Amino acid sequence: MRIWTLAWPIILSNITVPLLGLVDTAVVGHLPDSRYLAGVTLGATLFSFLYWGFGFLRMGTTGLVAQAIGREASSDVRNLLGQSLIMALVIGTLLIVFGSPLISLGLWLLDGSAEATPLAREYAEIRLWSAPAVLANYAILGWFLGQQNSRVTLMILLLTNSVNILLDLWFVVGLGMTSNGVALASVFADYSALAFGGYLVLRQLGHLEGRFQRQRLLALKAYSALFNVNANLFVRTLGLLFAMAFFTAQGARQGDTVLAANAVLLQFIMLTSYALDGFAHAAESLVGRAYGRRDWREFAATVRATAHFSFWTSAAAALLFAVGGNQLIALLTGLDDVRATAAIYLPWMVVMPLIAVWSYLFDGVFIGTTAVREMRNSIFAGLAVYLPTWWFCQGLGNHGLWLAFTLFTLTRSAVLIGYYRYYRLTRWRASPRVSHL
């Protein structure tokens, strides 16, 4: 029951993310020139990758806070919040200062049209001002999730997306702005979320014992745990971003129709991730607390329960794609050639949830235990299978690309499962007599 209590707000909050994208697209898509939509698409893609790369601020904070809760170390809970916020604000400020060359590099890599790129740059230069707020919100969300308070995630994301949608309509429809209005709406929404999150933090701090310790917040050496965890998570995320970008690029080489079909099918993976992320985040918090307590019975029971939830959810997704996949494709695109092409590769979507579920679940377990080097290693092991498979299977066309991506996911899952089984036999147990999952 605790798992579902933690998971459902995350699942629901995840669903609000594509809703915002749909509104952005609808608002800008009704402007008289398509270059505005292209500019927003390029700029939003750039910032999705940029901010996703710093998602370690959420993940690393969650695992360390959950362990501190398990140790009943309230001062550590407080100081981890302070350290994460300071790190977020420093990184966010550096992004603003050095953002212009990063934007230039990102737009060069995205290779947009001559008409859309200047609009994308304008969008990006406005969005860049939200960097400190976005990263601080990551830290706040991780802090609350580590305390098993996932409803805050739902509350903050609902506020962010609601403000964003209302300001989109006001700036673009009401005031006659274009893609710059969409960017400005996002900046205001991010700082609104930070203000609301700050209020919730102050309220929560009133219920916590302990105090902030100046030496923990100002001494660089005191950040060693956060630096170690976050550095490995950052490298892991870069590897994952590379795998996704490589997949998109190789699909594009096969033509616009294949690229569009792959984009539609990747939405199936995103749909599955909305549910599986909820259980993975629950595992982060509950496993982290049990790990902090060194309560290996609760630890194993939590992993077993989240595994059951995750597996049956992935099985339901696989069944949905097998039975209703063509109908889902039709909902996502009205182009007949894209529909037909996506249907050819639909069987990969039936297999994918049953393979990917374990990488989601054990990412959560390893974040909770802050065993993040293992997560990093799983990505590199996956890439070591992914790239050679793609190379040798190029003759299979897009099927070869999907085979390579599927084996990448399978390898990630297998490596994480292997690490988990080994650590349950060696590190994560009280004695040889304790049973393990």
Q: How confident is the model over 227-261, as pLDDT tens digits?
A: 888 899 999 989 998 898 888 888 878 887 888 88
> Is 208:74 a contact under the CB 8 Å cutoff?
yes
DSSP codes, 202-239: HHHHTT--S---HHHHH-GGGGHHHHHHHHHHHHHHHH
**What span, in angstroms and rounded, lies between the C-alpha atoms of 18 and 1?**
28
Considering only residues 436 and 119, tell me which one the structure prediction assigns the higher pLDDT: 119
Residue 392 has pLDDT above 90, yes or no: yes
Is the distance from CB of 36 to CB of 179 less than 8 angstroms?
A: yes
The reported pLDDT for the residue numbered 287 is 93
**pLDDT tens across 393-422, in order?**
999 999 999 999 999 999 999 999 999 999
* Dist CA 305 CA 173 (whole Å): 48
Neighbours of 85 (CB within 10 A): 22
Task: Calculate mean pLDDT across residues 324-341.
Answer: 83
- pLDDT given for residue 348 in this prediction: 95
In this prediction, residue 347 has a pLDDT band, given cuts at 50, 70 and 90, of: very high
189-229, pLDDT tens digit by residue? 999 999 999 999 999 998 888 778 877 788 877 788 888 88
Share of the chain above pLDDT 90, in %: 47
160 pLDDT above the threshold of 50: yes
DSSP per-residue letters across 174-190: IT---HHHHHHHHHHHH
Q: What is the pTM of this model?
A: 0.85
Give the chain's radius of gyration (CA, Å).
22
Looking at residue 21, what is its pLDDT?
58
Predicted confidence at residue 112, as pLDDT, reads: 67
- What is the average pLDDT across 121-145? 91
What is the per-residue pLDDT across 27-79, written as a single tens digit (0 to 9) for each? 776 676 667 766 777 777 777 777 878 888 888 899 999 999 998 888 899 99
The first and second tokens of residue 40, run together, are 């927003």
pLDDT at 22 over 60: no
Q: Which residue blocks in 294-335 are alpha helix, DSSP H?
A: 296-332
pLDDT over 50 (residue 434): no
Tokens encoding 354: 């049953």
Based on the number of CB atoms within 10 Å of its own CB, is 257 exposed (0-12), middle (13-18) or buried (19 or more)? middle
Confidence of residue 436 (pLDDT cuts 50, 70, 90): very low
pLDDT, mean of residues 308-318: 94
Distance from C-alpha of 200 to C-alpha of 61, rounded to nearest angstrom? 17
Give the pLDDT of residue 26: 65
Q: How far is the C-alpha of 355 from the C-alpha of 361, rounded, in Å? A: 11
Confidence of residue 179 (pLDDT cuts 50, 70, 90): confident
